[in-house]
Amino acid sequence: MARKILCVAEKPAIARAVATHLSGGSFQTHAIRGNQYVKNYEFDFNFGGAWGNCSVTMTSVVGHLTGLDFDRQYRGWMSCPPGMLFEAPVQETVDQDKLPIADNIRNQAKYAKALFIWTDCDREGEHIGSEVRNQAKAGNARIEVKRAKFSNTESAHVRRAALEPVNLDEYQANAVAARIELDLRIGAAFTRLQTLQLQTVVAALKEKVISYGSCQFPTLGFVVDRYLRVKNFKPETFWGIKVILNREGKKVNFLWRRVHLFDRAVVTMMLERCLTAKQAKVTKVNQKPTSKWRPLPLTTVDLQMMGSRFLRLDSQTIMKVAEGLYTKGFISYPRTETDQFDKAIDLKKLIEKQYPDNAWGQYARELIDGKFRTPRSGRHNDKAHPPIHPVSWVSPNQLNSNEKKVYEFVVRRFLACCSEDAKGKSTEIEIQYGEEFFHANGLIVLERNYLDVYVYDKWESSQQLPNFELGESFEPTEANIFEGKTTAPNYLTEPELIGLMDANGIGTDATMAEHIAKIKEREYVATNQRGSGRTSVQELIPTRLGVALVEGYDNVVTGLPNSVSLSKPFLRKEMELRMLEICSGTKTRQEVVQQSLDMYREVFIHTQRRINMLKDACRKYLVESATS
C-alpha cells in the first residue's frame, strides 16, 4: 500500500488550493465532524526522492489551534493581586472551538508516515506549525515532521515546495511563544490593576473595563500626542517678501528663499534694501529633465493608508474586502510587508490577464507591446509573501462596490509598478534682489506614463515661465510684504496613525486596524468627520479618559531613571528586538521572557506605588466633565 502523508495548512482556502495543484484537480473532499470550514482532501501525489508516490490527506487548521491562559485558580479578577500574574502558572490548551480540528489531525496522523506542515511562511505560521506538530505527535509519536516552504499558491511554486520540504524553524516558533506569554501576563496584570483601581475613582468608570495592551496603549499614545499638539498650539504671525514680474504677458511669482520670518521690522528693512537696489539680477537658470517615480509594489500598510485616503474605506473594511478578493482567487495574499517582486514571478503573464478590462485593458496591452518596465524594488521583504497584485481578472459586475474599489486599486497600482516613470521638464529661476534671493519654479509634464493608469497620483504642469537669461537684470513689477499666521496641525487621521504604528513596530499588518478599533471600543478615542463631501476625512480625537490615562502614566514615570511611559512605543519596540534575537539564536525564549518581564515589572511597581497620579488624572478629566 502506498505511504500516506498528512498535509496541514493554516487555513481552509490554502488547503484547497494546494490540494488542487498537487492533485492536478482531481481529489476527494470529506467534511469533518464539528467544523464547517475545515475539509480533508484526498488524492495521490509523487513526492519523489525517498517518499515516492504517496496517498495524501490535505487538511487545515483555522489559524492558531491553542491559546495560553492562567491556571484556573488565577482567572478570577479577585483571585490574586494583579502583580502575581507576572509569575502565575500558565497553561496552553486547545481552544474549545478548535477541538474538532485538533481531533481530526490526531486521527489522520495515526495512519500517516509523515506530516507536512503548510502554514504561512512567517513567524506566526511557524508557531502554528508547532501547534499542528504537537497534535500530530499526540496521535502518532513516530510521525516524521517536515515543512513545505511556499510564498504563493501558484501551481509550479506549490509543487516545488512539496518536493523540497525543510524543517520547522524552532527559533521562530519560540519567539512567538515568548510574545504570547508576555502579552498575556503584561496585558492581564495592568488591565486588572488599572481597572480595579480606577473604577472606584469616578462614577463614569464604574463597570468599565480599562484595558491595557502593549499595542493598544502606544496606539492611544499617538492619538493623544497629536491632540495635545493641536490643543497647545499658539498661532504666530509671520511676514515675508514677494516679488512679481510681468513679462511676455505672464505674471511670474518669485518666492523668498527665507520663506518667512517672525519679525516684521526685520522683514521691512530687508524689503527696503531690495527696493533701494531697484534691479534684480538672474543668478540661476536651471532647466533639467525631471520625473515623478512610479509607486513601489504594494504592501498591506500601503494598501491601508492609500485606501483610507483614496477609497474612503477604513482600514478594517479594506482588509476584510481584500481578504475576500484573495479567497476568491482575484488578488494575491493581502497581508505582506514585501515591496519587491521576486525575479521568478512572471509579471507579463499577470498583466496579460487584465486585457479584457474595459477601463485598463488597453493600458495593459500597451505595456506588453513595449512599455513594460521592471518594477522598482523597495527595501522590505518578509520572505513569505509577494507584494499585493492581481492574480486573475474579474468582471466588475461580479463584485460589490467596495470590492470593485479595492480590486481596481490593486490592479491600477500593479500596472503602475510595471510602467515607466512620468517624465517632465522643470525650470528654476533664481534672482538676487538687494541682498535677498528669490526663486520661481515651472514644470511641464512631457510624458504621463504610469499616471495614465494610476489615477490616484496627481502631477500637473504649472504655468510656463517666460524666458530668462543668466546674468540679466530687470526691475520687478511689484515687491511687497505679505502677512500670514502659522496654522495648527490637524488631528490624527487613520492613515497617519497606521503609518506611525508601522514605523514604530506596533502590531502587525494584519492587526493594526484591530488595535485602532479596540481603542475606540474602550472609549479611549472617538472619531470625528472633518470637512464634507469628497475631501472629508475621519479624524481621531482622544476622549477625556484617553487623555487621563496617557497623562497619568506619563506622570507615573516622570523623574524616574530608565522608566519609559507605557503610552510610548519604546517598550514594545524592545520586545520586538528581543524576539528577533530569539529568531537568530542569540537568546533563548526563557531569557527573553524573564528580561522583558523584569522590565515591565519595574513599571508595574512604580504604577502601584504612584497609583494616585493615575487616579488624579482621571479625577481631573472625568469629574470636571460631569459639570461642564
Partner DNA sequence: GCAAGGTC
User: Positive or negative CA dihedral for 108, 109, 111, 117?
Assistant: positive
Torsion of CA 539, 545, 547, 548, to 10 degrees: 180
Q: Could you tell me whether strands 473-474 and 525-530 are parallel, antiparallel, or unpaired per DSSP bridges? A: unpaired
Q: Which is nearer to DNA, 254 or 407 (CB)?
A: 407
Residue 190 Cβ vs DNA, minimum distance, rounded to whole Å:
8
Q: Which is nearer to DNA, 403 or 436 (CB)?
A: 403
User: Distance between CA 117 and CA 6 in Å, rounded?
Assistant: 8
Closest among 99, 116, 92 to 164, alpha carbons compared:
116
Tell me the Ramachandran region of residue 370: left when phi exceeds 0, alpha when psi lies from -120 to 50, beta otherwise: left
Active site residue 333: yes
Residue 498 Cβ vs DNA, minimum distance, rounded to whole Å:
13
User: Distance between CA 148 and CA 384 in Å, rounded?
Assistant: 12
Residue 137 Cβ vs DNA, minimum distance, rounded to whole Å:
20
Torsion of CA 307, 309, 314, 320, to 10 degrees: 0
Residue 67 Cβ vs DNA, minimum distance, rounded to whole Å:
5
Q: Which is nearer to DNA, 271 or 384 (CB)?
A: 384
Q: Which is nearer to DNA, 226 or 515 (CB)?
A: 515
Angle at which helices 216-231 and 544-557 cross, to 10°: 100
User: Distance between CA 316 and CA 61 in Å, rounded?
Assistant: 23
Torsion of CA 588, 593, 594, 597, to 10 degrees: 160
Which of 41, 171, 227, 333 is labelled catalytic?
Answer: 333
Q: Which is nearer to DNA, 89 or 249 (CB)?
A: 89
User: Distance between CA 113 and CA 56 in Å, rounded?
Assistant: 10
Q: Which is nearer to DNA, 68 or 255 (CB)?
A: 68
Phi, psi of 378 (to 5 degrees): -80, -165
Q: Which is nearer to DNA, 28 or 93 (CB)?
A: 93
Q: Which helix (H) or strand (E) holds 242?
A: strand 237-247
178: its cell numbers:
515568548
User: Distance between CA 265 and CA 267 in Å, rounded?
Assistant: 5
Residue 385 Cβ vs DNA, minimum distance, rounded to whole Å:
10
Angle at which helices 315-327 and 401-417 cross, to 10°: 80
Phi, psi of 555 (to 5 degrees): -65, -35
Residue 521 Cβ vs DNA, minimum distance, rounded to whole Å:
9
Q: Which is nearer to DNA, 382 or 539 (CB)?
A: 382
Q: Which is nearer to DNA, 187 or 378 (CB)?
A: 187
CA distances from 85 to 176, 182, 208 (A): 19, 11, 21
What count of residues does the chain have?
A: 628
Closest among 6, 106, 1 to 47, alpha carbons compared:
6
Q: Could you tell me whether strands 53-60 and 3-9 are parallel, antiparallel, or unpaired per DSSP bridges? A: parallel
Residue 58 Cβ vs DNA, minimum distance, rounded to whole Å:
14
Give the chain's radius of gyration (CA, Å). Answer: 30
Tell me the DSSP string of 169-191: -HHHHHHHHHHHHHHHHHHHHHH
Residue 264 Cβ vs DNA, minimum distance, rounded to whole Å:
50
Interface ranges with DNA (CB under 7 A): 10-13, 37, 62-64, 67-70, 75, 77-78, 95, 97-98, 120, 122, 124, 128, 179-180, 183-184, 187-188, 191-192, 195-196, 199, 209, 211-217, 323, 327, 335, 507-508, 510-511, 515, 518
Phi, psi of 286 (to 5 degrees): -115, 115
Residue 384 Cβ vs DNA, minimum distance, rounded to whole Å:
10
Residues with catalytic roles: 333
